[in-house]
Structure 1
Amino acid sequence: MIRCVGGVTHDTYGRLLMVRRANAPGQGLWSIPGGRVEPGEPDADAVARELREETGLIVSPGRLVGTVIRPAPSGSYEIFDYECQVAGGALRAGDDAAEVAWVDLATFTTLERTNLLTAGLAPTLRDWSMLPRA
């Protein structure tokens, strides 16, 4: 298992922070920002680092929202997704992101309908009650 983290972040309007992946896995698809945990790195530090690298935002990670397992080229990714609050920074697409955006529910639904979300994202966020609220 490859330990990964993700940041489920809503803005004050209820929109969900999403990135369009620039690299595999999921290249060209939209997802929540996140990535691999470095050896010995606490999850909270990994979430904050990954979101800063991918979105330019400084976040405060909060509670664990849920965990998913996704296939990896050699094994599986075990992804721990945390609810985050924005503490600063400026929104911009970073190293692994082709685009970054605050996504409302109508846009999210369109991305889902047109198969532009990473596999399993929509039902997982629905199950966790973490869809965009705007």
Structure 2
Amino acid sequence: MTTETTTEKPGISAAIIVKDGRVLMVRRRVSEGELMWQFPAGAIEPGEAAEDAAVRETAEETGLVVTAVKLLGERMHPKTQRLMSYTACEPVQGEARVADEDELDAVAWVAHSEIEEYVPYGLFGPVQEYLDEVLPR
């Protein structure tokens, strides 16, 4: 039995989904309507593995069914101070779309050369390394 306090914010699990030489990004509705591109992601539920959370959140947000391939890494996010987990996933069925309109504004399949336009502040090292390996340049 764990004795962690309930005041701690749950960790966030992000799915890094590659298909046809592109990576899936979602544009989230955040405060004041400012829109930001990121990977499908959400809070890890109590007792849930980071990989399972990435798969569940992807389905909830985009309608895309994916399978977890491997955990790429974890870090404290520099902006949010939340524990972030990043899981490489492969699409199994469905098409990515805005399934949760309260959370998302748009989805996009992004080529390697376009990542900087979507995420100008750069990606977490292990995520960038993985995308460098799997995406054509």
| TM-score bracket, shorter-length normalisation | 0.7 to 0.9
Call closer, same or farther: CA 1:124–1:45 in 2, change over 3 Å: closer
Shift of 1:120: 4.4
Q: Tell me the SS of whatever aligns to 1:48.
A: helix
Q: Determine whether 1:38 maps to 2:39.
A: no
Shift of 1:129: 3.1
Aligned residue number for residue 86 of structure 2: 81
Question: AA paired with 2:60?
Answer: E
Shift of 1:40: 1.7
Gaps of 5+ in 1: none
Which of 52, 56, 59 is the aligned partner of 1:52?
Answer: 59
TM-score, normalization by structure 1: 0.77
Q: CA RMSD, aligned part only? A: 2.4
> Quick check: which has more Rg, 1 or 2?
2
Residue pairs, 1:1-134, within 5 angstroms = 2-11=10-19, 13-24=20-31, 27-70=34-77, 71-72=79-80, 76-95=81-100, 96-112=103-119, 115=120, 119-121=121-123, 125-126=127-128, 128-131=129-132, 133-134=135-136
Shift of 1:29: 1.1
Q: Deviations over 1:8-66 (max 9, x none)?
A: 1110x210110011125x95111111110111222232111100111110000121111
Please say if residues 45 and 53 of structure 2, whose CA atoms lie closer than 8 Å, have aligned partners that are also in contact.
Answer: yes
Distance 1:47 1:129 in 2: 16
Distance 2:39 2:21 in 1: 15
Structure showing greater relative contact order (alpha-carbon pairs closer than 8 Å, 6 or more residues apart): 1
Call closer, same or farther: CA 1:110–1:3 in 2, change over 3 Å: closer
Q: Deviations over 1:75-125 (max 9, x none)?
A: x3111111101001222113222111111123223334xx4xxx5426563
Question: AA paired with 1:6?
Answer: A
Please say if residues 6 and 33 of structure 1, whose CA atoms lie closer than 8 Å, have aligned partners that are also in contact.
Answer: yes
Aligned residue pairs total 123
Q: Tell me the SS of whatever aligns to 2:130.
A: coil
Percent of residue pairs identical = 30
Q: Tell me the SS of whatever aligns to 1:10.
A: strand
TM-score, normalization by structure 2: 0.76
